[in-house]
Chains A and B, each alone.
Chain A
Amino acid sequence: MSDTPSELRYAKSHEWVKNEGDGTVTIGITDHAQELLGDLVFVDMPEVGDNVEAGSECAVVESVKAASDIYSPVSGEIIVVNKALDDAPETINDDAFGEGWIFKVKISDAADLDGLLDAAGYDALVAEDA
Protein backbone atom coordinates (compact mmCIF):
# COMPACT_ATOMS: atom_id res chain seq x y z
CA MET A 1 0.00 0.00 0.00
CA SER A 2 2.86 2.35 0.78
CA ASP A 3 4.75 4.53 -1.66
CA THR A 4 7.26 5.44 1.04
CA PRO A 5 10.69 5.05 -0.64
CA SER A 6 12.71 2.30 1.04
CA GLU A 7 16.10 3.95 0.29
CA LEU A 8 15.30 6.96 2.51
CA ARG A 9 15.33 7.39 6.30
CA TYR A 10 12.67 9.27 8.23
CA ALA A 11 12.29 11.50 11.28
CA LYS A 12 9.25 11.31 13.52
CA SER A 13 8.64 14.97 12.69
CA HIS A 14 7.93 13.89 9.05
CA GLU A 15 11.16 14.83 7.32
CA TRP A 16 12.96 12.41 5.02
CA VAL A 17 16.73 12.05 4.79
CA LYS A 18 18.68 10.74 1.82
CA ASN A 19 22.22 9.66 2.55
CA GLU A 20 24.26 10.75 -0.49
CA GLY A 21 27.17 8.57 0.66
CA ASP A 22 29.70 11.41 0.61
CA GLY A 23 29.10 12.79 4.09
CA THR A 24 26.15 14.84 2.92
CA VAL A 25 22.42 14.25 3.17
CA THR A 26 19.42 15.70 1.34
CA ILE A 27 16.37 16.57 3.41
CA GLY A 28 12.73 17.14 2.54
CA ILE A 29 9.28 16.52 3.98
CA THR A 30 7.32 13.34 3.38
CA ASP A 31 4.39 12.92 1.08
CA HIS A 32 2.23 12.35 4.14
CA ALA A 33 3.39 15.68 5.59
CA GLN A 34 2.69 17.66 2.42
CA GLU A 35 -0.76 16.11 2.24
CA LEU A 36 -1.54 17.21 5.78
CA LEU A 37 -0.25 20.72 5.12
CA GLY A 38 -2.17 21.22 1.90
CA ASP A 39 -1.18 23.55 -0.94
CA LEU A 40 2.23 25.04 -0.16
CA VAL A 41 2.76 28.69 -1.00
CA PHE A 42 6.04 29.67 0.62
CA VAL A 43 9.23 28.08 1.93
CA ASP A 44 11.41 30.01 4.37
CA MET A 45 14.84 28.49 3.76
CA PRO A 46 17.81 28.25 6.08
CA GLU A 47 20.93 30.20 5.12
CA VAL A 48 23.72 28.31 3.40
CA GLY A 49 26.60 28.09 5.89
CA ASP A 50 24.31 27.91 8.94
CA ASN A 51 25.08 25.20 11.45
CA VAL A 52 22.09 23.15 12.54
CA GLU A 53 21.54 20.78 15.44
CA ALA A 54 19.65 17.54 15.04
CA GLY A 55 16.05 18.19 16.06
CA SER A 56 16.26 21.97 15.73
CA GLU A 57 13.96 24.14 13.61
CA CYS A 58 15.72 25.29 10.48
CA ALA A 59 13.10 26.03 7.85
CA VAL A 60 9.41 26.84 7.62
CA VAL A 61 6.92 25.72 5.02
CA GLU A 62 3.72 27.70 4.68
CA SER A 63 0.58 26.34 3.11
CA VAL A 64 -2.61 28.24 2.36
CA LYS A 65 -3.71 27.08 5.80
CA ALA A 66 -0.78 27.53 8.16
CA ALA A 67 2.95 27.71 8.77
CA SER A 68 4.81 24.60 9.85
CA ASP A 69 8.38 24.21 11.15
CA ILE A 70 10.84 21.89 9.48
CA TYR A 71 13.38 20.26 11.79
CA SER A 72 16.79 19.10 10.69
CA PRO A 73 17.02 15.38 11.49
CA VAL A 74 20.83 15.64 11.59
CA SER A 75 23.50 18.01 12.90
CA GLY A 76 25.86 19.73 10.51
CA GLU A 77 26.24 22.60 8.07
CA ILE A 78 23.68 23.69 5.49
CA ILE A 79 25.48 23.45 2.15
CA VAL A 80 22.71 23.94 -0.42
CA VAL A 81 19.07 25.02 -0.38
CA ASN A 82 16.56 24.27 -3.13
CA LYS A 83 16.22 27.72 -4.73
CA ALA A 84 13.66 26.39 -7.22
CA LEU A 85 11.14 26.30 -4.36
CA ASP A 86 11.21 30.12 -4.13
CA ASP A 87 9.12 30.39 -7.27
CA ALA A 88 7.45 26.99 -7.12
CA PRO A 89 6.80 25.88 -3.53
CA GLU A 90 4.03 23.63 -4.87
CA THR A 91 6.79 21.32 -6.15
CA ILE A 92 6.75 19.85 -2.65
CA ASN A 93 3.08 18.93 -3.11
CA ASP A 94 3.78 17.42 -6.51
CA ASP A 95 6.99 15.53 -5.74
CA ALA A 96 7.78 15.53 -2.03
CA PHE A 97 10.44 12.80 -2.22
CA GLY A 98 12.14 14.11 -5.39
CA GLU A 99 12.18 17.60 -6.90
CA GLY A 100 10.61 18.92 -3.71
CA TRP A 101 13.76 18.43 -1.59
CA ILE A 102 14.42 21.41 0.67
CA PHE A 103 18.07 21.53 1.77
CA LYS A 104 21.32 19.55 2.03
CA VAL A 105 23.48 19.17 5.11
CA LYS A 106 27.12 18.18 5.50
CA ILE A 107 26.73 15.93 8.54
CA SER A 108 28.93 16.35 11.57
CA ASP A 109 27.97 13.07 13.22
CA ALA A 110 27.04 10.08 11.07
CA ALA A 111 25.51 8.43 14.16
CA ASP A 112 22.54 10.83 13.77
CA LEU A 113 21.42 8.67 10.87
CA ASP A 114 21.15 5.57 13.07
CA GLY A 115 18.39 7.08 15.14
CA LEU A 116 16.09 7.55 12.14
CA LEU A 117 13.21 5.33 11.03
CA ASP A 118 13.22 3.12 7.96
CA ALA A 119 10.27 3.17 5.55
CA ALA A 120 8.38 0.44 7.42
CA GLY A 121 8.92 2.22 10.72
CA TYR A 122 7.71 5.50 9.27
CA ASP A 123 4.62 3.88 7.74
CA ALA A 124 3.83 2.40 11.14
CA LEU A 125 4.13 5.85 12.71
CA VAL A 126 1.76 7.35 10.13
CA ALA A 127 -0.69 4.49 10.62
CA GLU A 128 -0.67 5.18 14.36
CA ASP A 129 -1.49 8.86 13.78
CA ALA A 130 -4.40 8.09 11.50
Chain B
Amino acid sequence: MDKQTCLYESHKTMGARLVPFGGWEMPLHYGSQKEEHHQVRRDAGMFDVSHMTVVDLEGPDARPYLRRLLANDVERLKDSGKALYSCMLNEQGGVVDDLIVYFLRDDWYRMVVNAGTTEKDLAWLNKQAEDFDLQIKPRRDLAMIAVQGPNAREKALPLLPAEMRENVTALKPFNAAPADGWFIARTGYTGEDGFEIMLPENEAAGFWQALADAGVAPCGLGARDTLRLEAGMNLYGSDMDENVSPLESGLGWTVAWEPAERGFIGRDVLEAQREDKEKRRFVGLLLTGRGVLRNHLKIFSGDTEIGEITSGGFAPTLGRSIAFARVSAGIGETCDVEIRGKRVAAQVVKAPFVRNGKACISL
Protein backbone atom coordinates (compact mmCIF):
# COMPACT_ATOMS: atom_id res chain seq x y z
CA MET B 1 0.00 0.00 0.00
CA ASP B 2 1.51 3.31 -1.05
CA LYS B 3 1.87 6.03 1.55
CA GLN B 4 0.03 9.32 1.36
CA THR B 5 1.43 12.72 2.30
CA CYS B 6 -0.45 15.05 4.63
CA LEU B 7 -1.59 16.97 1.52
CA TYR B 8 -3.31 13.96 -0.04
CA GLU B 9 -6.83 15.30 0.51
CA SER B 10 -5.82 18.70 -0.90
CA HIS B 11 -4.55 16.98 -4.06
CA LYS B 12 -7.80 15.10 -4.50
CA THR B 13 -9.83 18.27 -3.99
CA MET B 14 -7.71 20.06 -6.60
CA GLY B 15 -8.30 17.30 -9.17
CA ALA B 16 -4.92 15.59 -9.11
CA ARG B 17 -4.29 12.43 -11.05
CA LEU B 18 -2.50 10.36 -8.41
CA VAL B 19 0.10 7.73 -9.29
CA PRO B 20 2.51 5.50 -7.34
CA PHE B 21 6.00 7.01 -7.00
CA GLY B 22 8.82 5.81 -4.75
CA GLY B 23 6.39 4.09 -2.38
CA TRP B 24 4.03 7.08 -2.28
CA GLU B 25 0.79 8.00 -3.97
CA MET B 26 1.65 11.35 -5.55
CA PRO B 27 0.08 13.83 -8.01
CA LEU B 28 1.25 13.32 -11.59
CA HIS B 29 -0.65 16.42 -12.71
CA TYR B 30 -3.82 18.35 -11.95
CA GLY B 31 -5.09 18.49 -15.54
CA SER B 32 -2.25 19.45 -17.87
CA GLN B 33 1.39 18.66 -17.20
CA LYS B 34 2.46 21.05 -19.94
CA GLU B 35 0.47 23.98 -18.54
CA GLU B 36 1.92 23.34 -15.09
CA HIS B 37 5.39 23.41 -16.59
CA HIS B 38 4.71 26.77 -18.27
CA GLN B 39 3.16 28.13 -15.10
CA VAL B 40 6.44 27.54 -13.23
CA ARG B 41 8.56 29.06 -16.02
CA ARG B 42 6.31 32.09 -16.40
CA ASP B 43 4.73 32.75 -13.00
CA ALA B 44 4.64 30.44 -9.96
CA GLY B 45 3.82 26.83 -9.21
CA MET B 46 3.93 24.62 -6.13
CA PHE B 47 4.85 20.99 -5.58
CA ASP B 48 4.16 18.68 -2.68
CA VAL B 49 7.56 17.12 -2.02
CA SER B 50 6.68 15.76 1.41
CA HIS B 51 7.55 12.27 0.19
CA MET B 52 11.23 13.26 0.36
CA THR B 53 12.89 12.69 3.69
CA VAL B 54 14.41 15.30 5.96
CA VAL B 55 17.15 13.90 8.17
CA ASP B 56 18.72 15.86 11.01
CA LEU B 57 22.29 15.01 12.00
CA GLU B 58 22.97 16.25 15.48
CA GLY B 59 26.00 15.86 17.72
CA PRO B 60 29.62 16.92 18.16
CA ASP B 61 30.85 14.66 15.33
CA ALA B 62 28.32 15.79 12.71
CA ARG B 63 30.93 17.60 10.64
CA PRO B 64 33.71 14.93 10.63
CA TYR B 65 31.02 12.33 9.90
CA LEU B 66 29.70 14.23 6.87
CA ARG B 67 33.22 14.91 5.61
CA ARG B 68 33.72 11.13 5.43
CA LEU B 69 30.20 10.35 4.17
CA LEU B 70 29.86 12.83 1.29
CA ALA B 71 31.86 13.36 -1.90
CA ASN B 72 31.35 17.10 -1.57
CA ASP B 73 32.88 18.80 1.47
CA VAL B 74 30.68 20.36 4.16
CA GLU B 75 33.79 22.24 5.30
CA ARG B 76 32.88 24.62 2.47
CA LEU B 77 29.82 25.67 4.44
CA LYS B 78 30.82 28.60 6.65
CA ASP B 79 27.57 30.47 7.19
CA SER B 80 24.62 29.02 9.03
CA GLY B 81 21.84 28.09 6.61
CA LYS B 82 24.14 27.52 3.62
CA ALA B 83 23.25 24.53 1.42
CA LEU B 84 25.46 22.08 -0.46
CA TYR B 85 24.51 19.54 -3.13
CA SER B 86 26.40 16.26 -2.88
CA CYS B 87 26.49 12.62 -3.80
CA MET B 88 26.78 9.97 -1.11
CA LEU B 89 28.97 7.18 -2.52
CA ASN B 90 29.56 3.53 -1.73
CA GLU B 91 33.08 2.06 -1.46
CA GLN B 92 33.04 1.36 -5.22
CA GLY B 93 32.38 5.02 -6.03
CA GLY B 94 28.75 4.32 -7.03
CA VAL B 95 26.06 6.78 -6.03
CA VAL B 96 23.98 5.64 -3.02
CA ASP B 97 21.94 8.83 -3.30
CA ASP B 98 22.18 12.51 -4.17
CA LEU B 99 21.08 15.01 -1.56
CA ILE B 100 21.16 18.54 -0.25
CA VAL B 101 22.79 19.19 3.10
CA TYR B 102 22.29 22.39 5.09
CA PHE B 103 24.77 23.63 7.69
CA LEU B 104 22.96 25.06 10.71
CA ARG B 105 25.39 24.77 13.61
CA ASP B 106 28.65 22.89 14.21
CA ASP B 107 26.55 20.19 15.87
CA TRP B 108 23.52 20.35 13.59
CA TYR B 109 23.25 19.64 9.86
CA ARG B 110 20.07 18.83 7.98
CA MET B 111 19.88 16.79 4.78
CA VAL B 112 17.09 16.02 2.34
CA VAL B 113 17.22 12.65 0.60
CA ASN B 114 15.11 11.01 -2.10
CA ALA B 115 11.85 9.24 -1.28
CA GLY B 116 12.53 5.94 -3.01
CA THR B 117 15.96 5.58 -1.40
CA THR B 118 15.04 6.62 2.13
CA GLU B 119 15.21 3.24 3.89
CA LYS B 120 18.44 2.31 2.13
CA ASP B 121 19.92 5.72 2.95
CA LEU B 122 19.02 5.52 6.63
CA ALA B 123 20.60 2.07 6.89
CA TRP B 124 23.74 3.42 5.20
CA LEU B 125 23.83 6.55 7.39
CA ASN B 126 23.54 4.44 10.53
CA LYS B 127 26.14 1.95 9.38
CA GLN B 128 28.68 4.69 8.71
CA ALA B 129 27.95 6.41 12.03
CA GLU B 130 29.37 3.67 14.25
CA ASP B 131 32.60 5.51 15.10
CA PHE B 132 31.05 8.96 15.35
CA ASP B 133 29.23 10.74 18.13
CA LEU B 134 26.00 11.92 16.54
CA GLN B 135 22.32 11.18 16.28
CA ILE B 136 20.54 10.53 13.00
CA LYS B 137 16.95 11.73 13.16
CA PRO B 138 14.55 11.27 10.24
CA ARG B 139 12.01 14.09 10.51
CA ARG B 140 8.81 12.36 9.40
CA ASP B 141 6.87 15.10 11.18
CA LEU B 142 7.76 17.67 8.51
CA ALA B 143 5.91 18.33 5.27
CA MET B 144 7.73 19.96 2.37
CA ILE B 145 6.34 22.28 -0.30
CA ALA B 146 8.41 23.70 -3.16
CA VAL B 147 7.20 27.05 -4.54
CA GLN B 148 8.98 27.79 -7.80
CA GLY B 149 8.88 30.36 -10.58
CA PRO B 150 9.82 33.99 -11.30
CA ASN B 151 6.97 35.21 -9.05
CA ALA B 152 7.24 32.45 -6.45
CA ARG B 153 9.04 34.44 -3.77
CA GLU B 154 6.80 37.45 -4.14
CA LYS B 155 3.68 35.30 -3.81
CA ALA B 156 4.94 33.12 -0.96
CA LEU B 157 6.56 35.74 1.28
CA PRO B 158 3.37 37.42 2.58
CA LEU B 159 1.97 34.00 3.53
CA LEU B 160 4.87 33.06 5.79
CA PRO B 161 4.63 33.44 9.57
CA ALA B 162 5.26 37.15 10.21
CA GLU B 163 8.27 36.69 12.48
CA MET B 164 10.35 34.95 9.79
CA ARG B 165 9.39 37.14 6.83
CA GLU B 166 12.27 39.59 7.14
CA ASN B 167 14.93 36.89 7.34
CA VAL B 168 13.45 34.95 4.45
CA THR B 169 13.17 38.06 2.27
CA ALA B 170 16.92 38.53 2.71
CA LEU B 171 17.82 34.90 1.89
CA LYS B 172 20.36 34.50 -0.89
CA PRO B 173 20.16 31.60 -3.37
CA PHE B 174 21.15 28.26 -1.84
CA ASN B 175 20.64 29.52 1.71
CA ALA B 176 18.03 28.58 4.29
CA ALA B 177 16.56 29.99 7.47
CA PRO B 178 15.02 27.93 10.26
CA ALA B 179 12.34 29.53 12.45
CA ASP B 180 9.71 28.25 14.81
CA GLY B 181 9.40 24.72 13.43
CA TRP B 182 9.55 25.95 9.82
CA PHE B 183 12.60 25.82 7.59
CA ILE B 184 12.73 27.85 4.42
CA ALA B 185 15.39 27.36 1.77
CA ARG B 186 15.95 29.36 -1.42
CA THR B 187 16.57 26.19 -3.39
CA GLY B 188 14.69 24.12 -5.93
CA TYR B 189 14.66 21.57 -8.71
CA THR B 190 13.28 23.57 -11.62
CA GLY B 191 15.91 26.10 -12.72
CA GLU B 192 13.71 28.93 -11.44
CA ASP B 193 13.90 31.09 -8.33
CA GLY B 194 11.79 30.09 -5.34
CA PHE B 195 11.67 28.32 -2.03
CA GLU B 196 11.59 24.83 -0.65
CA ILE B 197 9.64 25.08 2.58
CA MET B 198 9.63 22.51 5.36
CA LEU B 199 6.86 22.97 7.88
CA PRO B 200 4.92 21.04 10.52
CA GLU B 201 2.51 18.59 8.90
CA ASN B 202 -0.54 20.07 10.61
CA GLU B 203 0.13 23.48 9.02
CA ALA B 204 0.77 22.17 5.51
CA ALA B 205 -2.78 21.99 4.14
CA GLY B 206 -3.56 25.55 5.27
CA PHE B 207 -0.37 26.92 3.74
CA TRP B 208 -0.95 24.97 0.49
CA GLN B 209 -4.46 26.45 0.22
CA ALA B 210 -3.16 29.97 0.98
CA LEU B 211 -0.62 29.60 -1.83
CA ALA B 212 -3.36 28.44 -4.20
CA ASP B 213 -5.50 31.44 -3.21
CA ALA B 214 -2.52 33.68 -4.01
CA GLY B 215 -2.43 32.30 -7.55
CA VAL B 216 0.28 29.67 -7.18
CA ALA B 217 -0.68 26.71 -9.39
CA PRO B 218 -0.49 23.18 -7.98
CA CYS B 219 1.95 21.16 -10.10
CA GLY B 220 2.62 17.43 -10.24
CA LEU B 221 5.60 15.15 -10.62
CA GLY B 222 5.21 15.25 -14.41
CA ALA B 223 6.02 18.95 -14.62
CA ARG B 224 8.68 18.53 -11.94
CA ASP B 225 10.44 16.05 -14.21
CA THR B 226 10.35 18.16 -17.39
CA LEU B 227 11.41 21.25 -15.44
CA ARG B 228 14.42 19.56 -13.85
CA LEU B 229 15.42 17.98 -17.15
CA GLU B 230 15.39 21.38 -18.88
CA ALA B 231 17.32 22.80 -15.92
CA GLY B 232 20.04 20.18 -16.42
CA MET B 233 19.48 18.52 -13.05
CA ASN B 234 20.01 14.80 -12.55
CA LEU B 235 17.36 12.37 -11.35
CA TYR B 236 18.52 9.62 -9.04
CA GLY B 237 17.68 6.14 -10.31
CA SER B 238 17.60 7.33 -13.94
CA ASP B 239 20.75 9.38 -14.47
CA MET B 240 22.84 7.73 -11.77
CA ASP B 241 22.65 4.89 -9.29
CA GLU B 242 24.91 2.61 -7.26
CA ASN B 243 26.59 1.24 -10.38
CA VAL B 244 27.94 4.51 -11.79
CA SER B 245 30.17 7.18 -10.34
CA PRO B 246 29.44 10.90 -10.27
CA LEU B 247 32.27 11.36 -12.79
CA GLU B 248 30.24 9.41 -15.37
CA SER B 249 27.02 11.17 -14.40
CA GLY B 250 27.91 14.80 -15.09
CA LEU B 251 28.45 15.38 -11.38
CA GLY B 252 32.23 15.74 -11.28
CA TRP B 253 31.71 19.35 -10.16
CA THR B 254 30.17 18.11 -6.91
CA VAL B 255 33.25 16.12 -5.90
CA ALA B 256 35.58 18.07 -3.59
CA TRP B 257 39.09 16.77 -4.35
CA GLU B 258 40.78 19.27 -2.05
CA PRO B 259 42.00 18.85 0.62
CA ALA B 260 43.65 15.71 -0.70
CA GLU B 261 43.85 14.13 2.75
CA ARG B 262 40.06 14.10 3.23
CA GLY B 263 39.23 10.42 2.90
CA PHE B 264 35.59 10.36 1.81
CA ILE B 265 33.95 7.04 1.02
CA GLY B 266 34.65 6.01 -2.59
CA ARG B 267 37.56 8.42 -3.03
CA ASP B 268 40.12 5.79 -4.11
CA VAL B 269 37.95 4.53 -6.94
CA LEU B 270 37.15 8.07 -8.08
CA GLU B 271 40.83 9.09 -8.02
CA ALA B 272 41.65 6.24 -10.39
CA GLN B 273 38.69 6.97 -12.64
CA ARG B 274 39.56 10.66 -12.75
CA GLU B 275 42.70 9.82 -14.73
CA ASP B 276 40.90 7.41 -17.06
CA LYS B 277 40.63 9.04 -20.49
CA GLU B 278 38.22 6.33 -21.62
CA LYS B 279 35.59 6.95 -18.95
CA ARG B 280 32.14 7.58 -20.27
CA ARG B 281 30.83 11.09 -20.75
CA PHE B 282 27.49 12.40 -19.58
CA VAL B 283 26.08 14.75 -22.20
CA GLY B 284 22.99 16.72 -23.10
CA LEU B 285 21.18 15.90 -26.35
CA LEU B 286 18.86 17.99 -28.46
CA LEU B 287 16.84 16.00 -30.98
CA THR B 288 17.16 17.62 -34.41
CA GLY B 289 15.01 15.04 -36.21
CA ARG B 290 11.39 14.22 -35.41
CA GLY B 291 10.25 12.29 -32.35
CA VAL B 292 10.69 12.24 -28.60
CA LEU B 293 13.79 11.07 -26.73
CA ARG B 294 12.98 8.55 -23.98
CA ASN B 295 14.91 6.79 -21.24
CA HIS B 296 17.07 3.84 -22.41
CA LEU B 297 17.00 4.65 -26.13
CA LYS B 298 20.30 3.64 -27.73
CA ILE B 299 22.82 6.17 -29.06
CA PHE B 300 24.85 5.54 -32.20
CA SER B 301 27.84 7.16 -33.83
CA GLY B 302 27.75 5.83 -37.38
CA ASP B 303 27.11 2.12 -36.97
CA THR B 304 28.65 1.90 -33.50
CA GLU B 305 26.47 1.84 -30.42
CA ILE B 306 28.07 4.30 -27.99
CA GLY B 307 25.64 4.57 -25.10
CA GLU B 308 22.10 5.23 -24.04
CA ILE B 309 19.73 7.92 -22.86
CA THR B 310 19.44 8.07 -19.07
CA SER B 311 16.50 10.46 -19.05
CA GLY B 312 14.74 12.10 -21.92
CA GLY B 313 11.51 13.76 -22.82
CA PHE B 314 9.77 16.67 -24.43
CA ALA B 315 10.91 20.09 -23.23
CA PRO B 316 7.83 22.34 -23.19
CA THR B 317 9.85 25.56 -22.87
CA LEU B 318 11.85 24.72 -25.99
CA GLY B 319 9.14 22.91 -27.92
CA ARG B 320 11.76 20.27 -28.65
CA SER B 321 12.89 16.96 -27.26
CA ILE B 322 15.97 16.81 -25.03
CA ALA B 323 17.81 14.20 -22.99
CA PHE B 324 20.77 13.26 -20.89
CA ALA B 325 22.88 10.37 -22.15
CA ARG B 326 25.86 8.37 -20.94
CA VAL B 327 28.15 7.73 -23.91
CA SER B 328 31.66 6.67 -24.91
CA ALA B 329 34.40 9.26 -24.45
CA GLY B 330 34.83 9.74 -28.20
CA ILE B 331 31.37 11.16 -29.01
CA GLY B 332 31.45 14.04 -31.49
CA GLU B 333 29.11 16.99 -31.88
CA THR B 334 26.27 14.91 -33.26
CA CYS B 335 24.94 11.37 -32.91
CA ASP B 336 21.94 9.25 -33.84
CA VAL B 337 19.29 7.95 -31.51
CA GLU B 338 17.41 4.76 -32.34
CA ILE B 339 13.69 5.41 -32.03
CA ARG B 340 11.44 2.46 -32.93
CA GLY B 341 14.08 0.97 -35.19
CA LYS B 342 14.87 4.22 -37.00
CA ARG B 343 17.94 6.40 -36.56
CA VAL B 344 17.09 10.00 -35.73
CA ALA B 345 19.72 12.77 -35.60
CA ALA B 346 20.59 14.56 -32.37
CA GLN B 347 23.03 17.27 -31.42
CA VAL B 348 25.31 17.04 -28.39
CA VAL B 349 24.77 20.13 -26.22
CA LYS B 350 25.88 21.39 -22.86
CA ALA B 351 23.26 21.39 -20.09
CA PRO B 352 21.43 23.28 -18.67
CA PHE B 353 18.95 23.63 -21.51
CA VAL B 354 16.86 26.31 -19.76
CA ARG B 355 17.51 28.69 -16.85
CA ASN B 356 15.22 31.37 -15.44
CA GLY B 357 12.67 30.96 -18.17
CA LYS B 358 15.16 31.30 -21.04
CA ALA B 359 16.75 28.79 -23.38
CA CYS B 360 20.49 28.34 -22.75
CA ILE B 361 21.14 26.46 -25.99
CA SER B 362 20.64 27.59 -29.56
CA LEU B 363 17.78 25.76 -31.25
A residues adjacent to B (C-beta < 8 A):
38-39, 41-42, 44, 60, 62, 64-67
Contacts and interface: CB of A to CB of B under 8 A. Distances in A.
Given A39-B33, A39-B34, A64 B340 contact: no
Contacts of A66: 294
A64 B291 contact: no
A42 B34 contact: no
A117 B316 CA distance: 36
A42 B222 contact: no
B32 A42 contact: no
A64 B226 contact: yes
Residues of B in contact with A, size category: 10 to 19
B32 A44 contact: no
A44 B292 CA distance: 10
- Mostly, the B contact residues are mixed
- CB-based closest 7 A-B pairs: A39-B34, A41-B314, A62-B292, A64-B33, A42-B292, A64-B314, A38-B33
Contact of B32 (A39, A62, A67): A39
B267 interface: no
Nearest to A42: B292
Contacts of B314: 41-42, 62, 64
B291 A62 contact: yes
Given A64-B316, A66-B294, 10 more contacts: A38-B29, A38-B33, A41-B321, A44-B291, A62-B291, A62-B292, A64-B33, A64-B314, A65-B222, A67-B292
Given A60-B340, A62-B314, A67 B33 contact: no
Interface of B: 28-29, 32-35, 37, 222, 226, 290-292, 294, 313-314, 316, 321, 340
Contacts of B226: 64
A66 B292 CA distance: 9
- Mostly, the A contact residues are strand
A82 to B, nearest CB: 15
Contact of B340 (A38, A39, A44, A65): A44
A88 to B, nearest CB: 11
A64 B313 CA distance: 7
Contacts of A64: 33-34, 37, 222, 226, 313-314, 316
12 contacts: A38-B33, A38-B34, A39-B35, A41-B314, A42-B290, A42-B292, A42-B321, A44-B291, A60-B340, A64-B226, A65-B28, A65-B222
A42 B291 contact: yes
A38 B292 contact: no
A38 B222 contact: yes
Given A64-B222, A64-B226, A64-B313, A38 B291 contact: no
A44 B342 CA distance: 12
A44 B339 CA distance: 11
Contacts of A67: 292, 294
Contacts of B32: 38-39
Contacts of B292: 41-42, 62, 67
Nearest to B29: A38
A75 B117 CA distance: 48
Nearest to B19: A65
A123 B290 CA distance: 34
Contacts of A42: 290-292, 314, 321
A33 B291 CA distance: 20
A67 B29 CA distance: 17
A62 B29 CA distance: 17
Residue from A41, A64, A66 whose CB has the most chain B CB atoms within 10 Å: A64
A3 to B, nearest CB: 17
A21 B37 CA distance: 43
Contacts of A39: 32-35
Nearest to A66: B294
Residue from B29, B34, B226 whose CB has the most chain A CB atoms within 10 Å: B34
A24 B75 CA distance: 72
Nearest to B17: A38
A81 to B, nearest CB: 14
Nearest to B339: A44
A41 B37 CA distance: 14
A65 B226 CA distance: 9
Given A41-B314, A42-B314, A44-B340, A65 B33 contact: yes
Contacts of B28: 65
A42 B294 CA distance: 13
